[in-house]
C-alpha cells in the first residue's frame, strides 16, 4: 500500500508540474453541458477530476443524477440541475414538488453547489399544449417550494428555450416572439422579473448555416474575420451570428415590456461529424466555433446591444453521446470522447489552447490528460 501511495503521489506530482502552465490557466466563466445519453461514458467521479483539472467550475445537467451530485461534493463546482418535461405535470402539485426537492435537491446542498433548477427543456418546441400550459405553474410551484424550505436565495428557477420561440431574429432590433406563444411567454417573463432569474436560450448558429449554406457566410457563424452585418435601426455592427441571436432575444423581451431580465445561453456548440446533408459538421469547424467563442468569453465580451454585460454561456457538450437519437450530428457535439481524449484540439487553431484540453506532453510522450486518467485509475484500483 505504501508503494501504491508513493506511485500515486508521483503521478499526481508530475501532473501538477506539467499542468501549471497550461491547464491551470482555465479560470474562465465558461459552463459545460454534461449530458449522459450514452452507454460508454466515464464514471462521474472520473468526470469530476477531468473538469477540475480543466478548472471548469460550472456544469449543467439535464436531470438531478445523485451519482453526479455526490461525485462533485466539496468541489465548489456550480450545478444547474434539470427537471425533464415528463415531470411538469407533477411539479404543478405542491406536495409532489416538495417531495422532489426534499429527495433530489436538499440532501446534496450542504456539500454540492446547486444554484439553479431548469424546469423543462425546450417545452415550446414540443407543440404539446398541455406541456405549454403546465410550464409556468410548474416553475411557480418549484420556486414557492424553495421559498417555503428557505432555499430560494441559494437556488433559482428557470427553464431553457429553443431559439425558434422567435418569429423574427434579424435584424436583432426587431426580434420578436411567436404570436402563438405570447400569452405563455408573458407569464414566464413576469415570473423571471419577479424572482430575478435568467432567461435561458439554446442557440446554435450551426443550424442556420446547415439549412442555408449558400446564404449564411461560414466565417460569420464561426466568429472568424468577416465584413459583418449592420442593424439598420441601431447602426450596431455584428461580426457573428450568436451575438445577433442574443440581442434579438433581448429585443423580443423588451417588446413585451421587460428590460430587467438577463439572457443567458444554456446551450451552444458545433458538431464534429454529421450526415451527408449536414453541411459544415466537421472537426475543423467545431474547433473554430468553440475556440473562438471561448476566447470571447475570456475577454468578457458583451453583445453590441449589451456591451457591458459579459456573455454567459454553457457549451454543448462535454462528451459525444452515442445513444442520442436523430441525425449523426446529435451524437457528435462533444468536446471529448468518452475515453477523455479530445475530439479536436482547439489549441491547433491557437485560440486559448489550454481552455478545453492541453496537448502538452511529457518527455515520455504522455499527455497531461493521460497522466490524470492513469492517476485516477490507479487510485480506484488500489
Catalytic (active-site) positions: 122, 267
The grid coordinates of residue 48 equal: 469530476
Say if strands 113-121 and 156-162 run parallel, antiparallel, or are unpaired.
Answer: parallel
Amino acid at each position: 500500500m505504501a508503494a501504491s501511495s508513493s506511485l500515486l503521489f508521483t503521478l499526481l506530482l508530475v501532473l501538477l508540474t506539467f499542468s501549471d502552465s497550461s491547464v491551470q490557466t482555465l479560470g474562465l466563466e465558461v459552463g459545460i453541458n454534461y449530458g449522459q445519453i450514452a452507454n460508454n461514458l466515464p464514471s462521474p467521479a472520473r468526470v469530476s477530476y477531468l473538469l477540475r483539472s480543466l478548472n471548469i467550475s460550472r456544469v449543467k445537467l439535464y436531470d438531478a443524477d445523485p451519482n453526479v451530485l455526490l461525485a462533485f461534493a466539496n468541489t465548489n463546482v456550480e450545478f444547474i440541475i434539470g427537471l425533464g418535461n415528463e415531470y411538469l405535470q407533477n411539479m404543478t402539485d405542491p406536495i409532489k414538488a416538495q417531495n422532489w426537492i426534499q429527495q433530489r435537491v436538499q440532501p446534496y446542498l450542504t456539500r454540492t453547489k446547486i444554484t439553479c433548477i431548469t424546469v423543462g427543456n425546450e417545452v415550446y418546441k414540443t407543440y404539446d399544449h398541455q406541456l405549454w400550459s403546465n410550464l409556468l405553474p410548474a416553475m411557480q410551484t418549484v420556486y414557492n417550494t424553495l421559498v417555503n424550505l428557505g432555499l430560494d436565495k441559494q437556488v433559482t428557477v428557470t427553464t431553457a428555450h429553443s431559439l425558434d420561440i422567435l418569429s423574427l431574429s434579424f435584424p436583432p432590433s426587431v426580434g420578436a416572439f411567436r404570436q402563438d406563444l405570447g400569452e405563455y411567454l408573458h407569464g414566464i417573463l413576469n415570473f423571471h422579473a419577479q424572482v430575478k432569474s435568467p432567461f435561458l436560450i439554446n442557440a446554435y448558429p450551426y443550424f442556420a448555416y446547415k439549412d442555408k449554406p449558400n446564404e449564411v457566410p461560414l466565417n460569420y457563424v464561426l466568429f472568424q474575420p468577416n465584413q459583418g452585418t449592420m442593424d439598420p435601426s441601431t447602426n450596431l455592427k455584428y461580426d457573428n451570428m450568436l451575438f445577433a441571436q442574443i440581442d434579438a432575444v433581448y429585443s423580443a423581451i423588451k417588446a413585451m415590456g421587460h428590460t430587467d431580465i438577463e439572457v443567458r445561453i444554456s446551450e451552444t456548440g458545433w458538431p464534429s461529424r454529421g450526415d451527408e446533408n449536414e453541411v459544415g459538421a466537421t472537426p475543423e469547424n467545431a474547433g473554430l466555433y468553440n475556440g473562438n467563442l471561448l476566447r470571447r468569453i475570456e475577454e468578457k465580451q458583451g453583445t453590441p446591444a449589451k456591451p457591458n454585460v459579459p456573455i454567459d454561456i454553457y457549451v454543448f457538450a462535454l462528451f459525444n453521446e452515442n445513444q442520442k437519437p436523430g441525425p449523426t450530428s446529435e451524437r457528435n457535439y462533444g468536446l471529448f470522447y468518452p475515453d477523455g481524449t479530445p475530439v479536436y484540439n482547439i489549441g491547433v487553431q491557437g485560440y486559448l489552447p489550454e481552455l478545453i484540453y492541453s496537448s502538452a506532453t511529457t518527455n515520455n510522450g504522455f499527455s497531461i490528460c493521460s497522466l490524470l486518467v492513469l492517476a485516477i485509475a490507479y487510485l480506484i484500483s488500489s
